[in-house]
Chain A
């Protein structure tokens, strides 16, 4: 089944403790992206990647890092999480038909 898989789905952590949210897609898509969703603000893009080793900032990149060493994986890294990064995070990949497929989401709480 074609899908985007994110892990963990839920995470509670403390300020400053580094964490990584993994994202993997099995559709051989070149484009992948991370979004965060907060009440009243819709989906805001954090980082995107056009292909392996090619990443760029989205709307709200501060406090996040990404890497794209292989086509299928696009992890989101929070080096020193802060409470304002408490949010629902979505990873997505884009098909050649310009359709985004989203993961199920990762709900992160930073205390």
Chain B
């Protein structure tokens, strides 16, 4: 069962690029890596997902090295509204999707 490790917190100034790394040493062959964003008192919401190499969408990029034991969420030019907790999650329905562990997440604070 793939569990994840992330930094507890990060601070960044507005307009900077932020990179949050997640370690998942026990990732299985069929597992996907998915990142979620959570604002206070709301449910987490999907940001981006990848399997290997690099994925980019309108809000973020996800970098995954060849061994897939870690991944890095990149948020370009953050704003105050990006202050939130970010979680990486590893798993997949094909591997049984049992026990999708979120871990403690990374609290990002964007400073004006």
Tell me the A residues contacting B by CB distance below 8 Å: 4, 30-31, 33, 35, 40-45, 48, 50, 56, 58-59, 88, 90, 92, 94, 96-105, 107
Contact = CB atoms under 8 A, between A and B. Distances in A.
Interface of B: 32, 34, 36, 41-46, 49, 87, 89, 91-93, 96-105
21 contacts: A31-B97, A42-B87, A42-B105, A43-B44, A43-B87, A43-B105, A44-B102, A48-B97, A50-B97, A88-B41, A94-B93, A97-B49, A98-B32, A98-B97, A99-B46, A100-B46, A100-B89, A103-B43, A104-B43, A105-B41, A105-B42
Contacts, number: 69
Contacts of B104: 40-42
- Interface of A, secondary structure class, is strand
Contacts of B96: 50
B3 to A, nearest CB: 10
3 tightest A-B contacts by CB? A102-B43, A42-B104, A43-B102
Contacts of A104: 42-43
Contacts of B99: 45, 48, 58-59
Contacts of A101: 46
